[in-house]
């Protein structure tokens, strides 16, 4: 019984001149690189999420500090934009 492979387990090679296509399983080196690429992409995505969270927290902190200084909402919005 032949097992079906996930498309991520294969490589598609296309000859642009002839249109011939070959689909084959990844070799060991290709699989290792694929896994490294997947891990790097996940880290980059998490870094972007973390950076956005830091930005939001800094903005909220600035608004709170300005409000604590006695500025009203209109004055805070004039400094930091819409709240």
Number of Cβ within 10 Å of residue 66's Cβ equals 19
pLDDT of res. 58: 94
**Among the listed residues 45, 12, 2, 10, the one whose alpha carbon sits nearest the alpha carbon of residue 31:** 10
DSSP, residue by residue, 24-83: EE--HHHHHHHHHHHHHHHHHHHHHHHHHHHHHHHHHHHHHHHHHTT--HHHHHHHHS--
Q: Which residues pair with 13 in a beta bridge?
A: 22
Report, as an integer, the average pLDDT of 34-51. Answer: 97
> pTM for this structure?
0.63
């Amino acid at each position: 019984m032949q097992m079906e492979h996930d498309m991520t387990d294969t490589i598609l090679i296309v000859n642009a001149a002839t249109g011939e296509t070959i689909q084959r399983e990844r070799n060991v080196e290709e699989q290792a690189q694929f896994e490294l690429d997947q891990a790097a992409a996940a880290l980059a995505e998490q870094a972007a999420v973390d950076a956005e969270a830091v930005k939001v927290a800094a903005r909220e902190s600035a608004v709170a500090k300005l409000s604590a200084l006695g500025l009203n909402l209109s004055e805070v919005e004039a400094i930091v934009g819409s709240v």
